Amino acid sequence: MDFDFSEDQKFLKNEARKFLDARCPVSVARSVLDDPGKSFDASLWKAVAEQGWLGAAIAEEHGGLGLGGVELCAIAEELGRALAPIPFASTVYFVAEALKLAGSDAQKAKWLPKIAAGEVIGCFATVERPGVLTEGGVQARVEGGLLNGAKVPVADGDIANLAVVLAKASGQACLFIVDLEGSGVTREILQTLDPTRSSAKLTFANTPAELLGEAGEGMALAEAVLNRAAVLLAFEQVGGADKALEMAKDYALNRYAFGRQIGSYQAIKHKLADIYIKNELARSNAYYGAWALDAGAAELPLAAAAARVSACDAFWFAAKENIQTHGGMGFTWGVDCHLYYRRAQQLGLVAGGAKAWKERLVTQLERRNAA
Amino acid sequence: MDFNDTPDEAAYRAEVRAWLATNAPKRTGRIDSGMEYPASMDDARAWQRKKADAGYACITWPKEWGGGGGASWQSVIFGQEEARFETPGNPFQIGLGMCVPTVMTVGNQADKERFVRPAARGDEIWCQLFSEPSGGSDVAAARTRAVRDGDEWVINGQKVWTSGAHYSDFGLLLTRTDPDVPKHKGMTMFWIDMKNPAVECRPIHQMSGASNFNEVYFTDLRVKDSQRVGGVGEGWRVSLVTLMNERLAIGGGAGGGHRTIFKLAQDISTLAGPATKDAALREKIADWYVQAEGLKYTRYRTQTALSRGQTPGPESSIGKVVSAALMQDMANTALELEDQFGIISDPDMAPLAASFQTAIMGAPGMRIAGGTDEILRNIIAERVLGLPQDVRLDKDVAFKDIPTGR
């Protein structure tokens, strides 16, 4: 039994924390929030690329570090904790994973080295309307190698150079690689709940698109990408939830009411204990997801769903109860609580919400029970 | 991240499996659950003795005291493998998990030599006499009085919630020896002979119908001063040694409940169609699943720390508070699914042999025994998160002056 990060992985995680403590205090996310012209922190993005993190789980032949999925999970937890305002998830968890999963040798050779080097920002463009992603909801079309249609919302769509797009060709759902520097791409930046992670509407008019993976496999591939991203996002959520708990704890220790620390009242103690319980359950479920991701296990769909459901619950609960613990100051613009509250929603929705993931989880359970 | 055994673990597991295959009792179809009394005390003793002879009883204790001289990870692996067999109930758990380790840590040399080995072999059974009618969560409110009389102490009072008192040979007893000092300073610990006629056990009839606990009364019970475990006035400190392990020992299961609910739902219809397709139920099943799995993998994390020779992190403290509430919620939902039939608790008539009806009557006890939901949250808040204790009105007051409400 070895169900934890290894010593090497802990070292990597610790180095990542030190790096982000120095380079990405919460003021970095706040500077993106407060500046309407800023979609991400470009200097942090460059520094993260120099650390090699973008290519941590990309093979050495494609310019990466050739580490495993668990190492990427360790980095993800620290990025989540730091509320890093960079397009890491879109580029690494979605687009790089999609390329690794379904890309041809030529596609991998073309794009993965650029991702690893930080030269390309990726985005994953699937949904077009409110509600869970379904094949019937995909209106975007590719004919003769040209894409027409619109995708909204697309996380990091305003700053990406490269998109993986779900669209139909000859009536079949497929994934396509789209170079966003190509012709016919219109980007419209969206007003969202979490401006520290930007989103856009992408409109395509006869934009060149190249098939990724097999024709007709689009929905299955998108789900496979979502499963991998769900595990990695779960680590970001656990990191954010831990940080929200620390904030609540520090405040409860320093704030006095009725002559004593508010952290000495059981109403507050039990609330924080409940946050701790959810965080530890989410961490344990995320670890199992990390194992399934790294081992390429058949259990990944179930493990990913469990990791996501648990992590969405934990970060949401920690973020909202952190505000509650802070009282009136908690819902002011100047105190940082709302940055975690916003990020909890962003991470909780970006790969599809918990409700749909619960249904996926139970479907997987039924399959397993029937087998 | 790897679920496989290390080479050392694999070798030990193979050794244990081989031994169990030869020595573990054959299946009888009789099931003893953790909190029930063993169906046969003779079977339980025989099994414990067999384990002790092979070094598998009290695996982490030194060999000189009748233990196995092994490591914590070996104990975990043995427990996993033993659970695959239908072994007799374990009436030794409280003695070996809490009382006797206290004697080993705090007791005098003569007591260690007298008690440790027979307990490890299952020859003698211990119970823990801490909780009282005046103090369940507040163990330090104990009022059972011990008064010195020469070389002896005279004990009067009552304990409650004592598992196994009626079949125990010895008990670890927390008493009040000085009511004129603050509560935590005036207590003293003794070991007592449970067969003494001055000790009377009465079973407690629980709401579930079962009787897993006792009330124990002491009427002029005389014990020698040499039966003292630790110093006069040191009883609270000694009790903390005992309690350290209790909350880890109780609860933690509740895995697999989602499977049982599925099984139930397959045969049941709701107004919206088959229960298995009921969206609200499916969402609940997902929530329960991530809690039960989260607990399972949290135990794996604890096991990993032991396996690496490290002290487990505080995450193991979440087990019972999650599993007890989970059990109650699942049982209630199952009864709702059964609808009017849910009221029937006859195992011959109720679905799944009335397992959810049994669970719903057992769940309130699970949320209270071994630390209530509320006390466990206090412990997480104080010991894990470092939040301050609640304001205490009883700390610097003589015990006799503390308000009791009656």
List, as one string, the DSSP characters of B334-349.
HHHHHGGGGG---TTT
Average pLDDT, chain B: 89
Q: Does residue B340 share a domain with residue B281?
A: yes
- Look at B385 and A273 and tell me if their CB atoms are within 8 Å: yes
Nearest by Cα to B34 from B101, B99, B100, B79: B79
| C-alpha to C-alpha distance for B38 and B30, rounded to whole angstroms | 10
- The residue range of the domain holding B284 is 251-368
Q: Which residues of A touch B296 (CB under 8 A)?
A: 284
Span A219-370: which CATH code? 1.20.140.10
Query: Picking from B45-49, B89-93, B246-250, which range would have the lowest pLDDT averaged per residue?
Result: B246-250
Q: Do domains A7-88+98-118 and A123-216 have the same CATH topology?
A: no
pLDDT on residue B260: 85
Helices within chain A (DSSP H only): 7-23, 26-34, 42-50, 69-81, 88, 97-102, 105-117, 218-254, 266-295, 300-326, 337-350, 354-370
- Predicted confidence (pLDDT) at residue B406 exceeds the cutoff of 90: no
Residue A104 class from Cβ within 10 Å (0-12 exposed, 13-18 middle, 19+ buried)? Answer: middle
Q: Which residues of B touch A305 (CB under 8 A)?
A: 286
Classify residue B1: in a domain, yes or no.
no
pLDDT digits (tens, 9 = 90+) for B81-122: 998 888 887 899 899 989 999 999 999 999 999 999 999 999
Share of chain B above pLDDT 90, in %: 65
Of A1, A263, A291, which has the smallest distance from its Cβ to B387's Cβ? A263
| Domain A123-216 bears CATH identifier 2.40.110.10 | yes
**Best of A277, A283, A288 to mutate (most B CBs within 10 Å, chain B):** A277
Two tokens at A43? 């200097």
| C-alpha to C-alpha distance for A47 and A22, rounded to whole angstroms | 11
Q: Does residue B241 share a domain with residue B288?
A: no
Query: At B196, which amino acid appears?
Result: N
Classify residue B398: in a domain, yes or no.
no
pLDDT on residue B3: 80
Cross-strand bridge partners of residue A327: none
- Predicted confidence (pLDDT) at residue B316 exceeds the cutoff of 80: no
pLDDT digits (tens, 9 = 90+) for B54-84: 999 999 899 988 899 998 889 889 988 998 8
Q: Which residues of A touch B308 (CB under 8 A)?
A: 2, 4
CA distance A209 to chain B (A): 38
CATH number at residue B351: 1.20.140.10
Nearest by Cα to A306 from B334, B277, B1, B292: B292
Classify residue B220: in a domain, yes or no.
yes
pLDDT on residue B118: 96
- Look at B304 and A362 and tell me if their CB atoms are within 8 Å: no
Q: Does residue B326 share a domain with residue B216?
A: no
pLDDT on residue A6: 93
Mean pLDDT by 10 residues, chain A (371 residues): 91 98 98 96 98 98 96 98 98 98 98 98 97 96 98 98 98 98 96 97 98 97 98 98 98 96 97 98 97 94 98 98 97 97 98 97 91 79
CA distance A280 to chain B (A): 6
Whether ipTM tops 0.85, in short, is yes
- Look at B3 and A309 and tell me if their CB atoms are within 8 Å: no
Q: Could you give the angle at the alpha carbon of A292 between the alpha carbons of B308 and A117, nearest 5°?
A: 95
Two tokens at A201? 């509407």
B386: closest chain A residue by CA:
A249
Q: Does residue B210 share a domain with residue B255?
A: no
Cross-strand bridge partners of residue B158: B217
- Look at B318 and A281 and tell me if their CB atoms are within 8 Å: yes
pLDDT on residue B259: 81
Find the helix or strand (DSSP H, E) in which B190 lies.
Answer: strand B187-193
CA distance B382 to chain A (A): 8
pLDDT on residue B248: 47
pLDDT on residue B30: 44
Q: Which residues of B touch A366 (CB under 8 A)?
A: 262, 276
- Predicted confidence (pLDDT) at residue B241 exceeds the cutoff of 90: no
Residue B11 class from Cβ within 10 Å (0-12 exposed, 13-18 middle, 19+ buried)? Answer: exposed
User: Length of chain A, please?
Assistant: 371
| C-alpha to C-alpha distance for A355 and B284, rounded to whole angstroms | 11
CA distance A166 to chain B (A): 28
Classify residue B381: in a domain, yes or no.
no
Q: Does residue B162 share a domain with residue B233?
A: yes
CA distance B395 to chain A (A): 16
Of B290, B297, B391, which has the smallest distance from its Cβ to A264's Cβ? B391
| B191-213: average pLDDT | 93
Query: Picking from A321-325, B20-24, B173-177, B191-195, which range would have the lowest pLDDT averaged per residue?
Result: B20-24
B292: closest chain A residue by CA:
A281
Nearest by Cα to A125 from A98, A87, A152, A146: A152
What are the angstrom distances between the C-alpha of A91 and each of A8, A295, B301, B395?
A: 25, 22, 31, 58
Span A7-88+98-118: which CATH code? 1.10.540.10
- Look at B285 and A288 and tell me if their CB atoms are within 8 Å: no
CA torsion through residues B300, B301, B304, B310, sign: negative
- Predicted confidence (pLDDT) at residue B254 exceeds the cutoff of 50: no
- Predicted confidence (pLDDT) at residue B128 exceeds the cutoff of 70: yes
Two tokens at A315? 């970060």
- Look at B386 and A310 and tell me if their CB atoms are within 8 Å: no
pLDDT on residue B270: 85
Q: Please name the residues between 328 and 367 in chain A that touch chain B, using a CB distance below 8 Å.
A: 355, 357-359, 361-362, 365-366
- Please, are residues B41 and B91 in contact by the beta-carbon 8 Å criterion? yes
pLDDT on residue A359: 97
| C-alpha to C-alpha distance for B133 and A348, rounded to whole angstroms | 48
| C-alpha to C-alpha distance for A207 and A147, rounded to whole angstroms | 5
Two tokens at B256? 């697999």
pLDDT on residue B145: 98
B2: closest chain A residue by CA:
A2
Query: Which is more confidently placed, B305 or B350?
Result: B350
pLDDT on residue A65: 97
Classify residue B387: in a domain, yes or no.
no
- Look at B378 and A369 and tell me if their CB atoms are within 8 Å: no
- Please, are residues B126 and B169 in contact by the beta-carbon 8 Å criterion? yes
Could you give the 3-state DSSP secondary structure of residue B174?
strand
| pTM, 2 dp | 0.92
CA distance B373 to chain A (A): 10
Q: Does residue B327 share a domain with residue B258?
A: yes
The residue out of B208, B226, B247 marking a domain boundary is B247
- Predicted confidence (pLDDT) at residue B309 exceeds the cutoff of 90: no
Q: Please name the residues between 151 and 210 in chain A that touch chain B, using a CB distance below 8 Å.
A: none
Q: Does residue B233 share a domain with residue B269?
A: no
Q: DSSP letter at A199?
A: E
pLDDT on residue A92: 98
Chain B contact for A70 (CB, 8 A cutoff): yes
- Look at B377 and A270 and tell me if their CB atoms are within 8 Å: yes
Q: How many CB pairs under 8 A join A and B?
A: 164
Domain residues of chain A, as ranges? 7-88+98-118, 123-216, 219-370
Residue B158 class from Cβ within 10 Å (0-12 exposed, 13-18 middle, 19+ buried)? Answer: middle
Q: Does residue B214 share a domain with residue B165?
A: yes
pLDDT on residue B34: 40
| C-alpha to C-alpha distance for B338 and A179, rounded to whole angstroms | 56
B375: closest chain A residue by CA:
A270
Helices within B138-266 (DSSP H only): 235-243, 246-249, 257-266
pLDDT on residue A8: 95
Could you give the 3-state DSSP secondary structure of residue A252?
helix
pLDDT on residue B36: 47
CA distance A365 to chain B (A): 9
| C-alpha to C-alpha distance for A186 and A164, rounded to whole angstroms | 16
Of B259, B279, B385, which has the smallest distance from its Cβ to A249's Cβ? B385
- Please, are residues B228 and B161 in contact by the beta-carbon 8 Å criterion? no
- Predicted confidence (pLDDT) at residue B161 exceeds the cutoff of 80: yes
CATH number at residue B164: 2.40.110.10
The residue out of B247, B264, B299 marking a domain boundary is B247
Domain count for chain B, please give it: 3
- Predicted confidence (pLDDT) at residue B39 exceeds the cutoff of 90: no
pLDDT on residue B2: 82
| Confidence band for B26, pLDDT divided at 50, 70 and 90 | low
pLDDT on residue B33: 41
Query: At B8, which amino acid appears?
Result: D
B307: closest chain A residue by CA:
A1
Q: Does residue B183 share a domain with residue B255?
A: no
